[in-house]
């Protein structure tokens, strides 16, 4: 028979593993389902990649089509480069800066509770201190993103 201590130890390890993964969100498990469900209709696999979309932006916008964002690579291009920080600018709830929420924030959920929860998941996934609204380049009084800010991006696959 298995010694009770071994069972306890195994249970403890399982618990620790569970906690580690709960603290350590990943794209496949935590983020992709949100993006597919909440953004997929306009940023899904049939949407053009960012560069293609950018060439004819007005036209795509008129058809309510955004750039493709439903894969890890495409999504990250709106975090890091070339569309640096656009995920954060569009999804921000506006509370920190006391300003307006980004115009994609509403899509994060059908209730304020759901929007707040999905935003918290996204922020935790990107990493502590990684929710920065800066662009690559300086724009007006807003400085361009720094290497230190980019270093905070964890965004586990």
Residues that bind ligand HEC (CB under 6 A): 38-39, 41-43, 61, 64-67, 78, 83, 86-87, 90-91, 103-104, 107-108
Q: Which of 78, 132 has the CB closer to ligand HEC?
A: 78
User: Min. distance of Cβ 85 from ligand HEC in angstroms?
Assistant: 9
Q: Which of 65, 134 has the CB closer to ligand HEC?
A: 65
Q: Hunting for tokens 């964890």 — which residue is that?
A: 154
User: Min. distance of Cβ 86 from ligand HEC in angstroms?
Assistant: 3
Supply 26's token pair. 């990943």
Q: Cβ(132)–Cβ(149) under 8 Å? A: yes
For residue 154, is it left (φ>0), alpha (ψ between -120 and 50) or beta? Answer: alpha
Distance CA 127, CA 148 (A): 13
Q: Which of 114, 151 has the CB closer to ligand HEC?
A: 114
Query: What is the chain's Cα-based Rg?
Result: 19
User: Min. distance of Cβ 53 from ligand HEC in angstroms?
Assistant: 8
Q: Which of 15, 37 has the CB closer to ligand HEC?
A: 37
CA distances from 26 to 4, 20, 22, 114, 131 (A): 34, 11, 9, 19, 16
For the beta carbon of residue 116, count every other beta carbon within 10 angstroms. 14
User: Min. distance of Cβ 106 from ligand HEC in angstroms?
Assistant: 8
User: Min. distance of Cβ 65 from ligand HEC in angstroms?
Assistant: 6
Q: Which of 4, 113 has the CB closer to ligand HEC?
A: 113
């Amino acid at each position: 028979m298995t010694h009770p201590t071994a069972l306890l130890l195994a249970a403890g390890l399982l618990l620790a593993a569970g906690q580690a993964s709960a603290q350590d969100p990943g794209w496949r498990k935590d983020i992709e389902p949100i993006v597919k469900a909440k953004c997929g209709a306009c940023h899904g696999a049939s949407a053009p990649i960012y560069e293609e979309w950018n060439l004819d932006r007005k036209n795509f916008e008129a058809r309510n089509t955004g750039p493709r964002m439903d894969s890890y690579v495409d999504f990250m291009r709106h975090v890091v480069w070339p569309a640096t920080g656009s995920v954060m600018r569009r999804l921000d709830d506006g509370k920190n800066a006391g300003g307006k929420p980004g115009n994609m924030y509403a899509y994060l959920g059908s209730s304020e509770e759901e929007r707040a929860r999905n935003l918290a998941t996204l922020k935790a996934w990107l990493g502590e201190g990684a929710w920065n609204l800066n662009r690559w380049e300086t724009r007006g009084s807003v400085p361009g993103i720094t290497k230190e800010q980019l270093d905070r991006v964890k965004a586990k696959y």
